[in-house]
Amino acid sequence: ELDQHPSGRHFLQIPGPSPVPDRILRAMSLPTIDHRGPEFGELGLKVLGGIRKIFQTQHPVIIYPASGTGAWEAALSNTLSPGDSVLMFETGHFATLWKQMALRLGLEPEFLSLPASQSWRHGVQPQLIEARLQEDREHRIKAVCVVHNETSTGVTSDISAVRRAIDAADHPALLLVDTISGLASADYRHDEWGVDVSVSGSQKGLMLPPGISFNALSPKAIEASQRSTMPRGFWAWDEILTANANGYWPYTPNTNLLYGLGEALDMLLGEGLEQVFARHERWGEGVRRAVNAWGLEIQCQEPALYSPVLTGVVTPEGIDADEVRRTIYDRFDLSLGTGLGKAKGRMFRIGHLGDCNDLTLIATLGGCEAGLKLCGVELFGSGMQAALDFFADNPAPGTPAA
Ligand code: PLP
């Protein structure tokens, strides 16, 4: 039989898992070591220290050998007790899934939403959070849970404004934030923004394969974990924090992903977080210029909240976005994100994170442009050209002048 495979690299332009740099793949290919030996302790301390810098926190960060969903469960089960009310906001599909998990765990989530015409196109509305907390005079609400970068829509939320809303209501609720797809691409400040638990994962801005995830803690979250009565075993912070003090885990950690994390930390901190955020902002702007040049709509309706991680592209009425995605995959070996939940068939998502550069994004936009045309979408102009012009006219900081 013929071995038929596409030549060249597959274009993985979904908003996570993101393309993994060769440097990280090589670091992960080293032999697995004894997770109770001295060499491991050094690695553990290195990654546990480095990841704090990524969350911009002085406090402990827990690393789980689990996907982001596990770290969601960990955040809820360590801080809350059965029957507790939690206030959540429907930014999109991932906020909805986190709410469903809260229900499964025996919590009582209250889900704030915008009217259908605006739903999934805006960020968290801090004034609605504040108003709801003002009403809650008995302090029945124990936590406010929001998503920082809603991966299903490409809309971010202003987390420091959510903190201010909680403070303005003079309410003791904890602030739990999902930055699974925001961390290490979009600016994120655990301490400065007063977040109690930040949840993240490996397969997005950290440029690692899926398989590890995080809870960044605050002293108030640790205190809450000492009082909360939700049953928890694997996720319990206390045993992990004790073992982590010496760079170890109470169970077998994901050694090779931790090699990868060590390499990712060297790359991201070596580049500098400011530069990392600026790089993603610039890519996002280039991709949005392409969508505008095509004459298509961007899912996010608040320019101040455009995600630097991904862009949601709405397909015209009568065009199935999944058909467009399939065509692009079959013809150009390029993967794009599907429309999730309520957005199924209505939009596709272009990831601009991970091991990308200007030209991989130009190629991605070229594949989108050709696929849209093949599916009968009439485009105003060339988005690929608009993005190329933007990248050429606005060199990345540090590139030599022409
Ligand atoms: N939250 C957000 C914002 C996500 O983007 C994802 C995954 O894409 C998840 C949660 C779930 O994470 P995982 O699929 O790693 O369990």
Quick one: 253 and 293 in the same domain?
A: no
**pLDDT tier at 2 (50, 70, 90 boundaries)?**
confident
> Last residue of some domain: 250, 270, 290?
270
Q: Return the pLDDT at 70.
A: 98
The CATH number given to whatever domain includes residue 348 is 3.90.1150.10
Residue ranges around ligand 1 (CB below 6 Å):
16, 67-69, 94, 147, 151, 178, 180-181, 201, 210
**CA 53 from chain center: how many Å?**
17
Region for residue 376 given its phi and psi (left: phi exceeds 0; alpha: psi -120 to 50; beta: otherwise): left
**pLDDT averaged over the chain?**
97
**pLDDT tier at 1 (50, 70, 90 boundaries)?**
confident
Q: What is the CA radius of gyration of the chain?
A: 21
Q: What angle is formed at CA 350 by the lines to CA 274 and CA 322, rounded to 5 degrees?
A: 160
CB-count burial class (<10 Å; 0-12, 13-18, 19+) for 1:
exposed
ω into 17 cis (within 30 of 0) = yes
Q: What angle is formed at CA 212 by the lines to CA 210 and CA 217, rounded to 5 degrees?
A: 135
Quick one: 253 and 284 in the same domain?
A: no
In a domain, 401, yes or no: no
Q: Is the pLDDT of residue 101 over 90?
A: yes
Quick one: 217 and 286 in the same domain?
A: no
> Last residue of some domain: 213, 247, 270?
270
Quick one: 230 and 303 in the same domain?
A: no
> Last residue of some domain: 239, 270, 301?
270
Q: Is the pLDDT of residue 402 over 80?
A: no
| Probe target for ligand 1 pocket from 76, 88, 94, with the most ligand atoms within 8 Å of CB | 94
For ligand 1, the distance from its centroid to the CA atom of residue 191, given in whole angstroms, is 22
Q: What is the pLDDT of residues 73-82, one digit of tens each?
A: 999 999 999 9
- Ligand 1, atom 12, lies closest to the CA of 68
CA of 149, closest atom in ligand 1: 3
For ligand 1, the distance from its centroid to the CA atom of residue 39, given in whole angstroms, is 32
Q: Return the pLDDT at 5.
A: 82
Quick one: 172 and 288 in the same domain?
A: no
> Rounded distance, CA 402 to CA 399, Å?
9
| CA dihedral of 114, 116, 119, 125, whole degrees rounded to 10 | -10
Q: Return the pLDDT at 6.
A: 84
Quick one: 94 and 130 in the same domain?
A: yes
Q: What is the pLDDT of residues 221-230, one digit of tens each?
A: 999 999 999 9
CA of 71, closest atom in ligand 1: 16
Domain hosting 309: range is 11-18+273-393
